[in-house]
Structure 1
Amino acid sequence: MDMIPIRLNYGMSREFIQKFRDALLVNNAEDEEKVRSYLDSLQSDHRDKMTFKQLMQKKSRWVLKRMRRHVPPPDELHASVKALFDIYEDSKCAVSEFSLFDRRCKAVAPSVLDSIKRGHISDPPGISWYYLLYIDKLGFPVYRCTRGTNSIEGGVHQNIVRKFASFNASPALTDCALADYRLRHNIQVQYKLILYVLEAPFLHLLIIIT
């Protein structure tokens, strides 16, 4: 999906980016309710007493480690993003008087909506990109998200190219070599996870090369 090249010095650019993020990645209702309940339980003079919106603005990284998110189905996502574009594209900055969407941005927006409509952005049904790391001292589950990770680029892909590219191997030999590499790699990953994340279900992290 193409990126929306909005003007970052525009007065409402941050608000648009946040709402665009929230349209693309919808919070898990159960996880969000846990965070909201925690905030409601705090005393009025507690240093962390704030609304959920304020917490997302100040400590979004902390929140997002404790809250799973999903990308909605194509029809739902297309409707929400299109409505967002319709609201903000012609809104003008009070200082510069420029519109948030310039000519280049308006040219890109239709391709973004088309990618969404085709289902290129939505999460596959029934697939979760999160696995549990541990439970923190406040009782919140802390997750790691593997959506869009590039962690296999250096650890797997480059190794395969470096080790097998010069073989000019037949399909049968390549299959055998990959089977051996897959086994060795998964054993190494399993060993590291046992050392560093004893609570995590390490099998979720094994990289299965097919």
Structure 2
Amino acid sequence: MIHIQKNHGLRVTFARALRDAIFLPDAEDKRKLESVLARQTPPLTYDEGLRRNPQMIKRHVKHVVPPPEQLFTLVSKLFEVYGPLKDAQTGQPLFSPSAWKSAKSVLEYIKLGYISDPPNIALYYPLGIDKKTRLTIYRCWRGTNFTKGGVHRPIRHCMPISGVSPRHTANRLKDYTFRHNMRTGTYNTTGQHYLGHFDIHLINKRQELLNSSRIHAAVPSSTPVGNWVNGNLYVRTTEVFGILPVPDDVRLASGLLSYDDEAPPKIQQYLAKQQGTKYVVITVHTDPERKLYSSLMQTDPSFTREGGPDWAKGTRRWNEGYANGVDIFYKSI
């Protein structure tokens, strides 16, 4: 955001001050935490607790990024105070000319409301109550750290290094999604880690059996199995997870024929079936496709017209006139 020399003596101090100017603590959460800190030995103020144990503050105090007009005043004043301050050893100011330029851009983003929290959207989720302090434990949804560290990286590790088919990939992702949702869903709703296996069909069947009249007749004192939503007792969803079918309007506009179970394609059959098309819809990747694309770009009126290619017309011409499911496949825009 703003590049500051690593060896500047005020670099860390400025970063903390900027953090505190942008993220303002919730007044009620702060008051409760101050009460807890005051009873410690030795007693601590909120600022001392923030310096010594910032993770505790993060865990128990919600923070908000104020509206643009308030945030602009706080941050601009901070820039004015810290920007000209010089390093004791080098004599260089905290903000170089390029840093001042970046700072002005930051203030413009603040004015436009790009930094402030969106109104009426909860960015914190209560996980439970700390047994020792009796303070609420929060999880913050702001930013992408949970997505990148909690989802993207583990997905890479659940895949083989190479040689993965679309079907293999889709099934791996479905399995990962279910396991991830079971773990995070249980923790977010109960504060407890999920314990158990991930065979959902076995869990459903077990619940049906243990809750059946047959079991109750044989063991009258048996307790029904609860705390589980059995999907077998509900109408199956029409939602599609993984590879989505090509919408009918897109398929018709692009000149794509429907998938035919009686005459499935010999190449990428699974992917074509999931897409609902006669041949798989895939990017230009074979040598015949590259040659055809080059030829059409030079000779076909759909691609050579003045003002640029008519991609919709050109795509339809490709699909209806050249796609064969062997070395030339369907395309879409």
Give me the TM-score of the superposition, normalised by structure 1. 0.73
**Range that drifts further, 187-196 or 52-61:** 187-196
What is the rounded CA distance, in whole Å, between the counterparts of 1:40 and 1:128 in structure 2?
29
1:199 aligns with 2:190: yes
3-state secondary structure, aligned to 1:131: strand
1:147 aligns with 2:145: no
Indicate which of 57, 62, 68 corresponds to 1:68: 62
Over the matched positions of the two proteins, sequence identity in percent amounts to 34
Q: CA deviation at 1:192?
A: 2.2
1:5 aligns with 2:3: yes
- Indicate the residue corresponding to 1:22 in structure 2: 20
Change (3 A) 1:6 1:196: same
Indicate which of 102, 112, 127 corresponds to 2:106: 112
CA contact (8 A) 2:37 2:49 kept: no
Q: If each structure's helix is expressed as a fraction of its own residues, which one has the higher value?
A: 1
Deviations along 1:5-25, whole A, 9 cap, x unmatched? 122322222221111001111
**Range that drifts further, 188-197 or 54-63:** 188-197
1:93 aligns with 2:87: yes
Q: CA deviation at 1:198?
A: 5.3
Change (3 A) 1:55 1:5: same
| Gapped regions of structure 1 (runs ≥ 5) | 168-176, 201-208
Change (3 A) 1:87 1:197: closer
Deviations along 1:69-105, whole A, 9 cap, x unmatched? 0111111111110111011111112222110001221
Change (3 A) 1:124 1:102: same
3-state secondary structure, aligned to 2:60: coil
Deviations along 1:28-86, whole A, 9 cap, x unmatched? 010111111112233xxx15x22221111110011111100011111111111011101
3-state secondary structure, aligned to 1:53: helix
Indicate which of 49, 53, 73 corresponds to 1:55: 49
Change (3 A) 1:96 1:194: closer
Number of matched pairs = 179
Whichever residue aligns with residue 9 of structure 1, its letter is: N
CA RMSD in angstroms comes to 3.1
Deviations along 1:144-166, whole A, 9 cap, x unmatched? 1110024445747x98xx9xxx9
Whichever residue aligns with residue 107 of structure 1, its letter is: K
Indicate which of 32, 35, 42 corresponds to 2:33: 35
What is the rounded CA distance, in whole Å, between the counterparts of 1:133 and 1:23 in structure 2?
26
| Gapped regions of structure 2 (runs ≥ 5) | 160-164, 192-240, 242-333
Whichever residue aligns with residue 192 of structure 1, its letter is: R
CA contact (8 A) 2:86 2:92 kept: yes
